[in-house]
Amino acid sequence: MPDQISVPFVDLARQFRALESDLTDAFREVGRSGIYILGDRLASFERAVAAFCGVRHAVGVADGSSALFLILKALGIGPGDEVITAPNSFIASASMIAATDAKVVFVDVAEDMNIDPALIEEALTPRTRAILPVHLTGRPAAMEPINEIARRHGLFVVEDAAQAIGARYQGRRVGGLGIAAGFSLHPLKNLGVYGDGGLITTDDDALAEKIIKLRNHGLENRERCAFWGYNSRLDPMQAAFAEIKLAHLDIWNARCREIAGIYRDRLRGLATVPEDQPQEECVYHNFIIRTDRRDALMAHLAANGVDTRIHYPIPLHLQEAARDLGYTEGSFPNTEANARHMISLPIYPELTDAEVDHVARSVISFFTGSELGSR
């Protein structure tokens, strides 16, 4: 008989229960302070996360989408400009470029499912202003060649690090590998809050100063507005929660890498699994395997109590929203093949060893036809 184990794809309440006392203390502290917009608790989190990422500045904003938008706006990107990114991300990576009225230009991905640096230069035009690599699944993009291309052509590099807080590339944390980086604090992310939240990091003093104004209506102070801005502030309550969680993040990310290692070792040879490279330290926001029997595997896993997802089933260039860009099916073969073959397995720090084992054995049983109880 199959094991009667149910493994949810995500279970956010487990983490809350582990931190409930600290979180409720923070809730009382912020609630009693009477300061619910900006303030010391937000500034404290910004200092802590800047130190964590190894950068001079961190700016809390309303969400991860706003983080990318505000960076692009602060860089002066707008109508007539082009920004290059990957077509296999969440919709926000491209939609925030479009929100500036710049043109989205896609480049296919490499084996690591991140933008392929070898294909970037052929996508450049005189209107290209920036490259926006996505550290998909918490795996850093190949930033060295991307930055070299940007240097040669005078382009900005903006990291979409929404899924990758804590990841390292050549020993450095993501968030300090371009002119600026946007992070998401959505509850599903490795560092998530209890609602929406976002974060921008940068080493550029002038850019940070502009973003701080942009997120708060363009205000220099209560009376003076330097330019038209936006309302995109991270609430101090969420910042207080995020700062508590930040102290645990390296441990949580290490657990995700441990789980990824178990999956990799046990499933290698049955499906295509992500292989870590020497220059990177992935934080495994998602663990994606690929197989041409994806749909049947998902059904088998569901029958055995294992919840799975697809990240993402429709590539960005094939979305209705992207029709005016002129791409068609076949434009980006690697991205499209991945969309047909990939499946995300459960991976989060609170998974028990028994649950991880059950997921692995369930996948193995599908490919080998063995009984689920055997190892």
* Token pair in block for residue 139: 């795996």
| Residue pair 189/161 in contact by the 8 Å Cβ criterion | no
Phi, psi of 96 (to 5 degrees): -75, -30
Cα gap 67→302, rounded to integer Å: 36
* pLDDT the model gives residue 374: 46
pTM (2 d.p.): 0.96
DSSP 141-176: --HHHHHHHHHHHT-EEEEE-TT-TT-EETTEETTS
Q: Strands across the sheet with 172-173, in order? A: 172-173, 168-169, 280-281
Cα gap 111→273, rounded to integer Å: 11
The structural domains of the chain, with segments of one domain joined by +, span: 13-246, 248-368
How many angstroms separate the Cα of 24 from the Cα of each of 33, 246, 251? 14, 16, 22
Per-residue burial over 108-135, b if 16 or more Cβ lie within 10 Å, else e, is bbbebbbbbbebbeeebeeebbbbbbbb
Single out the residue of 362, 312, 346, 353 nearest to residue 109, CA to CA: 312
* pLDDT the model gives residue 1: 43
* pLDDT the model gives residue 370: 79
Q: What number of other Cβ atoms are within 10 A of residue 17's Cβ? A: 12
* pLDDT the model gives residue 371: 74
* Token pair in block for residue 303: 């029958």
Phi, psi of 116 (to 5 degrees): -90, 110
Provide the residue-wise pLDDT of the chain in tens; the chain has 375 residues. Answer: 444 799 999 999 999 999 999 999 999 999 999 999 999 999 999 999 999 999 999 999 999 999 999 999 999 999 999 999 999 999 999 999 999 999 999 999 999 999 999 999 999 999 999 999 999 999 999 999 999 999 999 999 999 999 999 999 999 999 999 999 999 999 999 999 999 999 999 999 999 999 999 999 999 999 999 999 999 999 999 999 999 999 999 999 999 999 999 999 999 999 999 999 999 999 999 999 999 999 999 999 999 999 999 999 999 999 999 999 999 999 999 999 999 999 999 999 999 999 999 999 999 999 998 777 544
* pLDDT the model gives residue 373: 54
* Token pair in block for residue 41: 């608790």
| Residue pair 87/108 in contact by the 8 Å Cβ criterion | yes
How many angstroms separate the Cα of 163 from the Cα of each of 182, 206, 229, 323, 349? 10, 26, 26, 26, 15
Q: What number of other Cβ atoms are within 10 A of residue 246's Cβ? A: 17
Cα gap 283→170, rounded to integer Å: 14
Question: What is the signed CA dihedral for 61, 64, 69, 72, rounded to 10 degrees?
Answer: 90
User: Please, what sign has the CA dihedral across residues 277, 15, 301, 361?
Assistant: positive
The CATH architecture that domain 13-246 belongs to is 3-Layer(aba) Sandwich (3.40)
* pLDDT the model gives residue 263: 98
Class of CATH domain 248-368? alpha beta
* Token pair in block for residue 21: 């006392």
**Which parts of 87-218 are beta strand (E)?**
103-106, 128-132, 156-160, 168-169, 172-173, 180-184, 198-202
Name beta bridge partners: 162. Answer: none
